[in-house]
Amino acid sequence: MVFQLIDGECERSSPEPELFPLKKEEIKKMRTTKKLLAAFCGAALMLVSLNAGAAPKTLVFCSEASPEGFNPTFYTAGTTFDAAHPVYNRLVEFKRGTTEVEPALAEKWDISADGKEYTFHLRKGVKFHSSAKFTPTRDFNADDVVFSFKRQLDKDHPFHKVGNASYEYFNSMSMPELLKDIVKVDDYTVKFILNRPEAPMIADLAMDFATIFSAEYADKMMEAGTPDVIDFEPIGTGPFTFVAYQKDAVIRYKVNPEYWGAKAPIDNLVFAITPDASVRYEKLKAGECHVMVNPNPADLEAMGKDPSINLLQKEGLNVGYMAYNTQMKPFDNPKVRKALNMAINKKAIIDAVFQGAGKVAKNPIPPTIWSYNDAVVDDPYDPAAAKKVLAAEGVTNLKMKIWAMPVQRPYNPNARRMAELIQSDFSKIGVEAEIVSYEWGEYLKRSKDVKRDGAVLLGWTGDNGDPDNFLAVLLGCDGVGGANRSQWCYQPFEELIQKAKIVSDPAERTRLYKKAQIIFKEQAPWATIAHSVVFQPVRKDVVDFRIDPFGLNLFYGVDLK
Amino acid sequence: MLIYCLKKLGVVLPTFFGVTLVAFVFIRMLPGDPVLLMAGERGMSEERHAALMAEFGFDKPIIVQYGYYLIQLAHGDLGKSIITRKPVLTEFMTLFPATVELSLCAMFLAVLFGLPAGMIAATRRGSAFDHTVMTGALTGYSMPIFWWGLLLIIFFSGILHWTPVSGRISLLYYFEPVTGFMLIDSLLSGQEGAFSSAVSHLILPAIVLGTIPLAVIARQTRSAMLEVLSEDYVRTAKAKGLGPQRVIGLHALRNAMIPVITVIGLQVGVLFAGAILTETIFSWPGIGKWMVDSISRRDYSAVQGGLLLIAAVVMLVNLSVDLLYGLINPQIRHTD
């Protein structure tokens, strides 16, 4: 029996306890707390310090919401990916804190000369986790890879419909059109056959929809008549095993001692689901969690001064923009669009809307992505020049709409405020802007309309760190009437991004994307506004936590002092 | 008594049916749909959207959907959540004990302090105590829950370190829920310190959630007592030489309790409404937050099922209150 003091409470744990190390300030807190809890804790306190030294390391993460589930192929929310990540692996993965891809369950791969066949050589000796319902009888092999992808791809697969799954990410990354087949060559070799060459394919496979599940577990659960259990009680090959989940309260994991990579330095990982940002901060200060997500911008200054907290920051892999409808007059004229861009005081927006937690954007991709063209010069803030250009183009008494998103996003924390600032900027050049907003689902739907009136505030967070994920998705001709909110289909730009999609040489792709960014700036289908800066407060005893560029919260490799 | 109960049930059933209709129609009247919200900025093609809507059955006329829903209900099936793919009833039953536990404790605090405060204020009308109680009640009633909750957290958890910040129990305790009520489960677990941890986590949220009912009960008790104290029979009782404790405790309080019990019954609905904010602030895994999340994601099945179950509970409580009148004043049974 082990007793310890945690955050002013008297606690007991089993001989394998999940405990924070004993701290002097906590003993101090406890003296006060005893007034409330003395009847239950008093005697036990005496035993505490005797056993404190052997305490395993438990890292508590104050997350903001419950995961939608534990099968990341079903969902698109970051909170769900955060919850699934400790348990699973993919064939390839993003190196911690970067957008660089490294081998994971696949040790290496070959790409055919025509770029249509990817052959993956799988890692041997990788063990799946065990649970009360399942004990694996074999190691990870090609069957698991085929199962994980065929479930999403093949509509007749016995698991395709289990859980009413819709595989939204798999579909939105165009995998059904791209993947012709996935073939098991032998137990440790799998071949992906594509319908067309796709340069970002390897980066795509590092995404969460490409998670590898146990085919054996699926078969066992199907035999037991409970196939959907595999989606709620996750079994993977990851650095942590799933222990328990209580909705809206807590998720528990413990270290996987048989992990194929280096064993995680912490013994237990706990997600304390805490929806309110102010409360998360209080918990962090009180030592009830080690890492918190999404701090209030207003709290950042205090966090920076707190001696017990490290305030980490990193530029987000995102862009916030205002998309003109380039198919409607007068926005079909690039000179008009550029003039409007020159009227926007982006610095003021960064100060007022992002409260400093942002950076002015000049390109449609963030600076953290390879091929970012830093040589591009942004449109200067020059209302007088903007007014002159509009007059020269015969645009007078222009009235337009600015669409303000009804939700907060890292790339736009307050769209209404941003719209008001742009409205004010436009009024200085004689443009009368009306701000409109709709419910989020409606906003997304209506803003796709090719005949839409006005300029739309929106943004994008990268999925795989590939420029194609921004440029082709948001500005390609295929996206007109869809994710391409500027309804912009410009052949010189399109040719570049289509070519970059099929070229495998990174240097050549970089050259093509840099050129595409120059054309983008000349044509100005958007006003590029900001890239957010992500802040993540962690307690000082947390070692080597790295902010993930994709906005996830990942704990493999993180340690506690 | 049986006829009285049947009459009350006769009122409850149409109300229950009305709730199913309102819940079903209102959630669909909100702009946006769950499929669009699921896709987010990424979006999806018109064809895929239509296919998914058809898969969930949302493409059919609303009256047909409602018909299917009623048939489903008749079989005791509330459907599956569109987001989590779990049965709505399972999700509700997982979270509901947390809300009940919190609400009961909040109501216990509200009655424990509200009732005597109102009684004493009434018997000492115009005194400093009366003014203090009434000012406190008005302040409590007007206090925004979110602000009040954060204030208590900052003071008691952040500065004094007397209570934990949020949650139902320290994360270091882990046991499988048996009843879903943390106070009971922590005792059943046999783990030392678990119960005290659960109690310490309950204190602040119960105070926050109980503040408004406490204010309402104190005010209602005071006004009901004042009215009763001016009745002839009270004057007669005093004239007969009965002591103030017997006059107030036996004669006045019994009659003053009728409107107070009504208010307490109605406060159950208020508690559920207040639970939404309280649960969010204190990371309390109850149905309030679940309902809000479900509405914002347009999780039709969860909203419909959740509203129906909450309405059933509120109706059940009010039915019990109606029946309680009969126990307090048998005349009510006869006149109804």
Q: Inspect the interface and report whether the beta carbons of B39 and A168 lie closer than 8 Å.
A: yes
Please tell me which residue of chain B has the smallest CA distance to A20: B172
Question: Quick one: pLDDT at residue A478?
Answer: 84
Rg of chain A, C-alpha, whole Å: 26
Q: Inspect the interface and report whether the beta carbons of B55 and A8 lie closer than 8 Å.
A: no
Question: Quick one: pLDDT at residue A241?
Answer: 97
Which amino acid type is present at position A149? F
Put simply, whether A441 touches B (Cβ < 8 Å) is yes
Give the number of other Cβ atoms within 10 Å of residue A270's Cβ. 23
Select from A559, A526, A507 the least CA-distant residue to A456: A526
Q: Inspect the interface and report whether the beta carbons of B44 and A172 lie closer than 8 Å.
A: yes
Question: Quick one: pLDDT at residue A560?
Answer: 95
Q: What is the mean pLDDT of residues A351-357?
A: 86
Question: What's the CA gap between B72 and A21, in Å, rounded?
Answer: 53
Instruction: Give the confidence band of A399 by pLDDT, cuts at 50, 70, 90.
Output: very high
Question: What's the CA gap between B64 and B77, in Å, rounded?
Answer: 17
Q: Inspect the interface and report whether the beta carbons of A249 and B285 lie closer than 8 Å.
A: yes
Query: Residues B37, B41, B43, CA angle at the centre, nearest 5°?
Result: 70
Question: What's the CA gap between A254 and A111, in Å, rounded?
Answer: 37
Shortest CB distance from B193 goes to which of A19, A41, A274?
Answer: A41
Question: Quick one: pLDDT at residue A54?
Answer: 54
- Over the stretch B67-109, which tens digit does the pLDDT of each residue have? 988 898 888 888 888 888 788 999 999 999 999 999 999 999 9
Instruction: Give the confidence band of A479 by pLDDT, cuts at 50, 70, 90.
Output: confident
Instruction: State the best of B48, B171, B192, B298 to mutate against chain A, taking most chain A CBs within 10 Å.
Output: B171
Put simply, whether A76 touches B (Cβ < 8 Å) is yes
Put simply, whether A68 touches B (Cβ < 8 Å) is yes
- Over the stretch B227-239, which tens digit does the pLDDT of each residue have? 888 888 888 888 8
Put simply, whether B96 touches A (Cβ < 8 Å) is no
- Over the stretch B276-286, which tens digit does the pLDDT of each residue have? 889 988 989 99
Per the model's pLDDT, the better-predicted residue between B139 and A39 turns out to be: B139
Question: Quick one: pLDDT at residue A27?
Answer: 42
Put simply, whether B292 touches A (Cβ < 8 Å) is no
Instruction: Give the confidence band of A154 by pLDDT, cuts at 50, 70, 90.
Output: very high
Q: What is the mean pLDDT of residues A52-76?
A: 85
- Over the stretch A301-331, which tens digit does the pLDDT of each residue have? 899 999 999 999 988 899 999 999 999 999 9
Question: What's the CA gap between A404 and A416, in Å, rounded?
Answer: 5
Q: Inspect the interface and report whether the beta carbons of A248 and B39 lie closer than 8 Å.
A: no
Q: Inspect the interface and report whether the beta carbons of A282 and B165 lie closer than 8 Å.
A: yes
Chain A residues with beta carbon closer than 8 angstroms to that of B282: 279
Instruction: Give the confidence band of B41 by pLDDT, cuts at 50, 70, 90.
Output: low
Q: Is A390 exposed, middle or buried (0-12, 13-18, 19+ CB in 10 A)?
A: buried
Range 150-169 of A in CB contact (< 8 A) with B: 163-166, 168-169
Q: What is the mean pLDDT of residues B157-166?
A: 90
Q: What is the distance in angstroms between the Cα of B82 and the nearest Cα belonging to chain A?
A: 8
What ipTM is given for this predicted complex? 0.80
Question: Quick one: pLDDT at residue A32?
Answer: 44
Question: Quick one: pLDDT at residue A165?
Answer: 75
- Over the stretch A277-306, which tens digit does the pLDDT of each residue have? 899 999 999 999 999 998 887 888 899 999
Asked whether A83 and A234 are in contact (CB, 8 A), the reply is no
Instruction: Give the confidence band of B331 by pLDDT, cuts at 50, 70, 90.
Output: low
Instruction: Give the confidence band of A23 by pLDDT, cuts at 50, 70, 90.
Output: very low
Instruction: Give the confidence band of A22 by pLDDT, cuts at 50, 70, 90.
Output: very low
Please tell me which residue of chain A has the smallest CA distance to B37: A441
* pLDDT over 50 (residue B217): yes
Cα dihedral sign for B18, B19, B25, B29?
positive
Shortest CB distance from B200 goes to which of A18, A36, A232?
Answer: A36
Asked whether A312 and A535 are in contact (CB, 8 A), the reply is yes
Chain A residues with beta carbon closer than 8 angstroms to that of B155: none
Q: Inspect the interface and report whether the beta carbons of A172 and B52 lie closer than 8 Å.
A: no
- Over the stretch B189-209, which tens digit does the pLDDT of each residue have? 988 899 999 999 999 999 999
Question: Quick one: pLDDT at residue B42?
Answer: 66
Instruction: Give the confidence band of A12 by pLDDT, cuts at 50, 70, 90.
Output: very low
Question: Quick one: pLDDT at residue B1?
Answer: 67
Question: Quick one: pLDDT at residue A41?
Answer: 38
β-bridge partners, A118: A111, A192
Chain B residues with beta carbon closer than 8 angstroms to that of A442: 31-32
Kindly report the average pLDDT of chain B as a whole number: 85
Shortest CB distance from A279 goes to which of B82, B166, B196?
Answer: B166
Question: What's the CA gap between B37 and A440, in Å, rounded?
Answer: 7
Range 255-284 of A in CB contact (< 8 A) with B: 270, 272-276, 278-279, 282-283
* pLDDT over 50 (residue A20): no
Which of A366-380, A438-452, A516-530 is predicted with the least confidence, judged by mean pLDDT? A438-452
Question: What's the CA gap between B289 and B287, in Å, rounded?
Answer: 6
Asked whether A419 and A457 are in contact (CB, 8 A), the reply is yes
Question: Quick one: pLDDT at residue A48?
Answer: 38
Question: What's the CA gap between B86 and B79, in Å, rounded?
Answer: 9
* pLDDT over 90 (residue A427): yes
